[in-house]
RNA sequence: GACCCUAUCGUCUAGCGGUUAGGACACCGCCCUUUCACGGCGGUAGCACGGGUUCGAUUCCCGUUAGGGUCGCCA
């Protein structure tokens, strides 16, 4: 309706560069991004680098790279990690360290109107003594009263004695001056919201709409702190998770697409996402479900990307695939596609392709390298030696024929052969694996196994 | 201590007064199969507790308990 003037949505993600991006922060960024895309609004990235001592460009890059990895592109914000560098958007600068004058101006205004006052070198804001009521888009009606301590001293510091403005002040001033319409943030800020609303009112403007999203807890229900493994987005980036899997999983924490849907592309998440349907209770981070989703995405990944990620994971484990022909590497990895959920499983799963000497699983050796199996394996070695070409079908036929000759099931030969060539009782399809490995390596490994069986 | 939020299988969730309480992950069987994985079939498992309101509460209200958060010259 043309006569209804609806304000265009402007949301922001305002992280502090601490050197890592918390998984909960990543989800907050995601929800902001989703809401912006869903409403056709603007997603702003603002760096809250007021704590100068601890903020480095490197720490800012962690945030920037994390968001880029997730595919969360911001419409306004920094273009690089240099706080004094250029930004995109007309509400910059997007680093708080570059907005000092704004804060000073706002504080002066408060001071001159008697809404703030100096006390022991610091500036304190005259906080409302009455309960603050507001409607949260996720939580609903909230009525925040003063706590016992706050009743003793309701006012709070907005500028420290060293002249540095504090979080509550800068956060509100920036949201106000950047025309933020919806503040989507972690529930840990719900109690602070009364302060923020009081500040907005003191500046004579309506506060933005608030949406406090539930927190992400560890699987055991405890708070996910920096120390907890898996609390940092960086670990998922390093471990080779597919970003779309992480995004998909994060979106499912506190929100549901309904209809028993679990795996869905970003475009659908954007279409279905909205604030009112976000759950009110905290969610626990279940790595097993993330791994399952990741496996689903890896299975569908296009080959080139799969190769690239695989080679990277192998290299991280000290396996240099460059020493092998490209076609060999690709053929080897093809036998692993759809078999692993995580790239970090690859070194253990497919390492035998890229190591000339392999060690066999001790448990399996006892079970498979028996005196009874020795003549069978020896016979198979003979038959394989004559195979030309050494391909899947012939290998398959040979296993079957040799097994038949001994009057046993093919599986009886499959197990020791697999163990001899991979070192593991589990792995890629045996016939494909042998073909890729090539006759020379296969014979050599079977000989090695035979030597252990005497 | 005060204030705020929350409570459905182990976990993520669907449910919005009447359902055999549904799905997914995980787990356990069976099938498929050259191992594993995938896939298929089946199974174990849940409305925290106590009061109300109602003909009827998982669903609405109150309380209890439990969990989380906030009360900084941290962000």
Spatial distance from the CA of A59 to the C1' of B69 (Å): 26
- What pLDDT does A54 receive? 66
CB A161 under 7 Å to nucleic chain B: yes
CB A5 under 7 Å to nucleic chain B: no
Distances in whole angstroms, Cα of residue A167 to Cα of each of A28, A73, A171, A195, A371: 18, 25, 6, 11, 74
For residue A272, the Cα-to-chain-centroid distance in whole angstroms is: 21
Q: Which of residues 212-271 of A touch strand B (CB under 7 A)?
A: 214-215, 217, 219, 221-223, 252-256, 258, 260, 262
- A226 flagged as catalytic: yes
| ipTM over 0.90 threshold | yes
- What pLDDT does A52 receive? 64
Query: Which residues, including other chains, have CB under 8 Å from residue A441's CB and lie 6 or more apart?
Result: A356, A421
CB A343 under 7 Å to nucleic chain B: no
Task: Let me know: does A9 contact A211? Beta carbons within 8 Å.
Answer: no
Per-residue pLDDT of chain A in tens (454 residues, 90 and over written 9): 444 446 799 999 999 999 899 999 999 999 999 999 999 999 999 999 987 666 788 999 999 999 999 999 999 999 999 999 999 999 989 999 999 999 999 999 999 999 999 999 999 999 999 999 999 999 999 999 999 999 999 999 999 999 999 999 999 999 999 999 999 999 999 999 999 999 999 999 999 999 999 999 999 888 887 778 789 999 999 999 999 999 999 999 999 999 999 999 999 999 999 999 999 999 999 999 999 999 999 999 999 999 999 999 999 999 999 999 999 999 999 999 999 999 999 999 999 999 998 998 888 888 889 889 999 999 999 999 998 899 999 999 999 999 999 998 999 999 999 999 999 999 999 999 999 999 999 999 999 999 988 6
Rounded Cα–Cα distance for residues A70 and A57 (Å)? 20
Rounded Cα–Cα distance for residues A335 and A392 (Å)? 12
CB A189 under 7 Å to nucleic chain B: yes
Please choose, from the candidates A60, A125, A66, the residue with its C-alpha nearest in 3D space to the C-alpha of residue A93: A60
* Choice among A226, A289, A404, A409 that is catalytic: A226
As ranges, strand B nucleotides with an atom below 7 A of a protein CB are: 1-8, 10-15, 22-26, 34-38, 67-75
Using DSSP bridges, classify how beta strands A42-45 and A10-13 pair: parallel, antiparallel or unpaired: parallel
- What pLDDT does A225 receive? 79
Please choose, from the candidates A324, A323, A290, A329, the residue with its C-alpha nearest in 3D space to the C-alpha of residue A309: A329
Instruction: Name the closest nucleotide to A296, judged by C1' and CA.
Output: B38
- What pLDDT does A6 receive? 63
Rounded Cα–Cα distance for residues A316 and A207 (Å)? 49
CB A411 under 7 Å to nucleic chain B: yes
- For the entire predicted model, the pTM comes to 0.94
Spatial distance from the CA of A315 to the C1' of B24 (Å): 34
* Protein residue closest via CA to C1' of B69: A188
Query: In A238-270, which positions are buried (b, 16+ CB within 10 angstroms) versus exposed (e)?
Result: eebbbbbbbbbbbbbbbbebeeeeebeebeebb
- What pLDDT does A228 receive? 81
What phi-psi label fits residue A137: left (phi over 0), alpha (psi between -120 and 50 degrees) or beta? alpha
CB A148 under 7 Å to nucleic chain B: yes
- What pLDDT does A3 receive? 41
Spatial distance from the CA of A326 to the C1' of B51 (Å): 72
Determine phi and psi for A156, rounding to 5 degrees: -130, 155
* Protein residue closest via CA to C1' of B12: A253
């Amino acid at each position: 309706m043309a006569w209804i003037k609806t304000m265009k949505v402007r949301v922001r993600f305002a992280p502090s560069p601490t050197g890592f991006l918390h998984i909960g922060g990543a989800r907050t960024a995601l929800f902001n991004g989703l809401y912006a895309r869903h409403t056709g609004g603007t997603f702003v990235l603002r760096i809250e680098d007021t704590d100068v001592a601890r903020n480095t460009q490197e720490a800012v890059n962690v945030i920037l790279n994390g968001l880029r990895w997730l595919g969360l592109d911001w419409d306004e914000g920094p273009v690089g990690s240099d706080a004094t560098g250029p930004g995109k958007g007309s509400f910059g600068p997007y680093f708080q360290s570059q907005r000092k004058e704004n804060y000073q101006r706002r504080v002066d205004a408060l001071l001159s109107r008697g809404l703030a006052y100096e006390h022991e070198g610091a500036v304190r804001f005259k906080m409302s003594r009455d309960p603050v009521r507001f409607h949260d888009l996720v939580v609903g009606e909230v009525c925040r009263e003063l706590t016992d301590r706050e009743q003793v001293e309701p006012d709070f510091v907005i500028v420290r004695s060293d002249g540095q403005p504090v979080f509550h002040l800068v956060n509100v001033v920036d949201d106000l001056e950047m025309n933020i319409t919806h503040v989507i943030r972690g529930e840990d800020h719900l109690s602070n919201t009364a302060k923020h609303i009081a500040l907005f009112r003191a500046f004579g403007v309506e506060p933005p709409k608030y949406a406090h999203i539930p927190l992400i807890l560890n699987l055991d229900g405890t708070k996910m702190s920096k120390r907890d493994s898996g609390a940092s987005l960086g670990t998922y980036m390093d471990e080779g998770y597919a970003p779309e899997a992480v995004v998909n999983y994060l979106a499912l924490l506190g929100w549901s697409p309904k209809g028993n849907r679990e795996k869905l592309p970003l475009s659908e998440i954007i279409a279905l996402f909205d604030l009112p349907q976000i759950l009110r209770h905290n969610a626990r981070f279940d790595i097993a479900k993330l791994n399952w989703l990741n496996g689903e995405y890896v299975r569908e990944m296009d080959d080139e990307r799969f190769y690239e990620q695989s080679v990277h994971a192998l290299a991280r484990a000290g396996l240099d695939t460059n020493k092998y022909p490209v076609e060999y590497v690709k053929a080897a990895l093809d036998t692993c596609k759809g078999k692993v959920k995580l790239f970090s499983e690859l070194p253990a799963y497919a390492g035998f392709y890229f190591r000339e000497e392999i060690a066999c699983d001790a448990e399996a050796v006892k079970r498979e390298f028996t005196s009874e199996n020795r003549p069978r394996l020896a016979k198979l070695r003979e038959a394989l030696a004559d195979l030309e070409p050494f391909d899947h079908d012939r290998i398959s036929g040979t296993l079957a024929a040799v097994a038949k000759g001994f009057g046993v099931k093919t599986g009886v030969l499959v197990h020791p052969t697999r163990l001899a060539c991979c070192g593991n009782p589990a792995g890629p399809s045996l016939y494909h694996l042998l073909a890729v490995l090539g006759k020379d390596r296969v014979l050599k490994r079977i000989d090695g196994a035979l030597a252990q069986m005497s």
